[in-house]
């Protein structure tokens, strides 16, 4: 709000920006929830990556908006993908850690999110006092979502690699069991052949 007052004056309708973020966040949850559930072939992880990237880029674009309408457009887009982030967070946690650990995973995620939410405003205020504007604070705020989205891109690759290792281990175990069964069957066959050849055998 202080940034809007400094950039567009105290008469600027600041409440419209918050309303835009809230409304489009609700719409985004409805839209992306339906997309993730009913559109075949959609990868939830990549939806989350797109939301991180857009939120990060939009945060960096806030200082570049010198027209109030442009700032409204940025807030609309940011709210839309914020809704995507919120509604996809729990399904991704469920897919990655399973039903038994999903509560712990979501709790850990929300706990980690609380750290920048708590530390961010004082740092932004400090930068404003030192540099005279919030521009650097917005630029820095856009970096973590972009980095997080880039790291999140690796999850499908890591998950596919883990599944492939499990399949290879299961295949190796099955082959060992088959070889053991063949050895056992071969020993019984040799004993039966010896008994047939020697009727006086005690075997």
In a domain, 163, yes or no: no
What range does the domain containing 139 cover?
Answer: 2-152
Mean pLDDT of 8-31: 85
- Would 185 be classed as within a structural domain? no
CATH code for the domain in which residue 51 is found: 1.20.1250
- Domains in the chain, number: 1
Identify whether 169 is part of a domain.
Answer: no
pLDDT, one tens digit per residue, over 153-188 is 888 787 778 778 888 777 766 666 666 666 666 555
Q: Which residues contact 40 (CB under 8 A, 6 or more apart)?
A: none
Specify if 176 maps to a domain: no
The predicted model gives 17-44 an average pLDDT of: 87
In a domain, 160, yes or no: no
Residue 203 has pLDDT above 60, yes or no: no
Task: Look at residue 184 and tell me if it is in a domain.
Answer: no
Domain-embedded: residue 133:
yes
Reduced 3-state DSSP string for the chain: CHHHHHHHCCCCCCHHHHHHHHHHHHHHHHHHHHHHHHCCCCCHHHHHHHHHHHHHHHHHHHHHCCCHHHHHHHHHHHHHHHHHHHHHHHHHHHHHHCCCCHHHHHHHHHHHHHHHHHHHHHHHHHHHHHHCCCHHHHHHHHHHHHHHHHHHCHHHHHHHHHHHHHHHHHHHHHHHHHHHHHHHHHHHHHHHHHHHHCCCCCC
Look at residue 72 and tell me if it is in a domain. Answer: yes
């Amino acid at each position: 709000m202080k940034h809007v007052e400094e950039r567009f004056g105290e008469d600027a309708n600041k409440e419209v920006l918050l309303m835009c973020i809230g409304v489009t966040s609700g719409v985004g949850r409805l839209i992306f929830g339906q997309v993730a559930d009913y559109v075949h072939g959609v990868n939830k992880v990549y939806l989350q990556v797109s939301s991180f990237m857009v939120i990060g880029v939009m945060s960096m674009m806030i200082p570049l908006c010198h027209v109030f309408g442009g700032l409204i457009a940025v807030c609309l887009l940011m709210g839309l993908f914020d809704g995507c982030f919120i509604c996809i967070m729990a399904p991704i946690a469920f897919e990655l850690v399973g039903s038994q650990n999903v509560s712990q995973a979501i709790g850990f995620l929300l706990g980690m999110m609380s750290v920048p939410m708590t530390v961010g405003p004082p740092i932004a205020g400090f930068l404003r006092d030192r540099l005279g504007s919030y521009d650097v604070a917005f630029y820095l705020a856009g970096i973590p979502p972009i980095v997080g989205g880039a790291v999140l891109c690796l999850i499908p690759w890591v998950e596919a690699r883990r599944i492939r290792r499990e399949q290879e281990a299961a295949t190796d175990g099955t082959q060992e069991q088959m070889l053991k069964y063949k050895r056992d069957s071969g020993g019984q066959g040799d004993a039966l052949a010896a008994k047939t050849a020697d009727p006086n055998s005690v075997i």
